[in-house]
Structure 1
């Protein structure tokens, strides 16, 4: 089996998730170095447990290493685009966590840098690789539901993030619903043309004080005539709630929440089923591994990544339109955002 060496920039939670999945499930990739200027003792201990040979506080140890063929960017979001550009200029293939950047001009710069360098660029929209969501996608693509009429997505977190994160996240449309914007266009097989957003502070007043909303509903219009509805909440007391549905002229296909087990207990007082997963890492363990497997195959086979830089651009356009819609209280066409 052909293998290649990689470096991971960022040793926070998502960096450690990718490191563990690559080490356990992606034999084509060998992690040579993990770099993070703020690497904690806990992160060091965890990464050494994965037998990663080099831990550094300087990303240059990855970018300047000729043996490293690809870089996994898991830094804070405001450094994503910069590391994509630097890695591309160093001739290294890049997997970058979503979003590439909140600023559209920086997204374009990152995509252009990868294209100019002739390197692969894959964006971390891992939900496309979830086996349940992908089964919905396959049913739509096979034509079983006929012409797509409606796409419905519910995405709710067990609890809100820290306020310090909310203040720098870009808002609910950029840091949370951006996944659903990608999923909507993935399932509809069409681009979004218009967005109307509603939002409220129903979970935590501090989120409103930070300039964001914690509960939102967005309606979408697609170029193929289909419509979409997405709802998000920062808090679902019952767990990590992730469901999608596509309704078409010949039927509908949907998935329900994944749970640790599908066993249901039945007794005189009723039935008891397994609760939802409580955190994203558990719900999407398989998807995180599958997206890295896909990246490895794109690098080794010289094929187009399954989630391209352009796929990373469109959800940011939609997020910008949703943010503008919420602020102005009107539907916003994506052409307005692209013209800015």
Structure 2
């Protein structure tokens, strides 16, 4: 393996890779690499600044792309042409022309390509899909997704994030497709800045309610907030003609105190690194299984583009005040 980009998410993946006995990280690439990194990454033979050194190495079979989003398409193109299987963090890019060019090259070269939508690998959400597939939900009618961060990101991050729909809600758009197994025809967004007025400077919002109309007629709603004071709020409910499946928050502890004045339970885990720790490991395990031909890629390039199309439609709806159709992949 080679890892390209060693920010927060790159380091999460690196720590998980160390747990695989049959996967070895040969090279780490980051523009900030210096001699001090040798002490931090003692188990990695090569530390480089230019990702082409990773792609030129015939011993490296696959790469993880964990760089800023605007670099994803070109690195994907270069990695695919070098014959490397690719795991790329979301989103797969910002500019449509670049995204479609990378998509074309991946298809032409036939390399395996997986998008890092880690929530697909959360065991609690998986259980909802299991209930759906086994017919317990019946005909799906309503999907509800609550996704609220414990605090807003830095303003520097907001400036380069691509906006709330591309950065945050894109996970929820992917989950809407994954949980239901259905495509979304149109979205209608109400959004505002209710937390940090500085976000307006970047023509972004921090609070949104998004209505979804699926192609099979069912309905959905996503609510987002950049600041839930009680922790990382991650809940999903799928309602149908036979019943409902609901995944509640994962709490810091399952202990409940009950006294004469009422009861007390713990708060949700604070952020995504804690809440989705196991999911990050499971998505890499799935990626390696796909590379070895055990099963198809669980979240492919088309899934990545469809999530972007939903984010784009949401942005159009916020600006127009109307429901907006979701464009096709190409």
Considering the TM-score relative to the shorter chain, is it more than 0.5?
Answer: yes
After TM superposition, the structure 1 = structure 2 runs for residues 1-340 of structure 1, keeping only pairs within 5 Å, are 6-24=1-19, 26-39=20-33, 45-48=39-42, 51-301=43-293, 303-335=295-327
Change (3 A) 1:272 1:309: same
CA distance in 1, matches of 2:36, 2:193: 35
SS, match of residue 29 in structure 1:
coil
- Answer whether contact 1:104 1:316 (CA < 8 A) is retained: no
CA distance in 1, matches of 2:124, 2:34: 35
Unpaired runs of 5+ residues, structure 2, are: none
Quote how far apart the aligned CAs of 1:41 are: 7.7
CA RMSD of superposed structures (Å): 1.6
CA distance in 1, matches of 2:72, 2:121: 21
- Answer whether contact 1:188 1:226 (CA < 8 A) is retained: no
CA distance in 1, matches of 2:180, 2:191: 24
Change (3 A) 1:41 1:186: farther
Quote how far apart the aligned CAs of 1:83 are: 1.0
Quote how far apart the aligned CAs of 1:266 are: 2.4
- Answer whether contact 2:306 2:329 (CA < 8 A) is retained: no
Change (3 A) 1:120 1:164: same
Unpaired runs of 5+ residues, structure 1, are: 1-5
SS, match of residue 237 in structure 1:
coil
Change (3 A) 1:43 1:129: farther
State the number of aligned residues. Answer: 330
CA distance in 2, matches of 1:100, 1:295: 16
SS, match of residue 292 in structure 2:
helix
- Answer whether contact 1:104 1:313 (CA < 8 A) is retained: no
Quote how far apart the aligned CAs of 1:303 are: 3.8
CA distance in 1, matches of 2:37, 2:280: 19
CA distance in 1, matches of 2:197, 2:162: 17
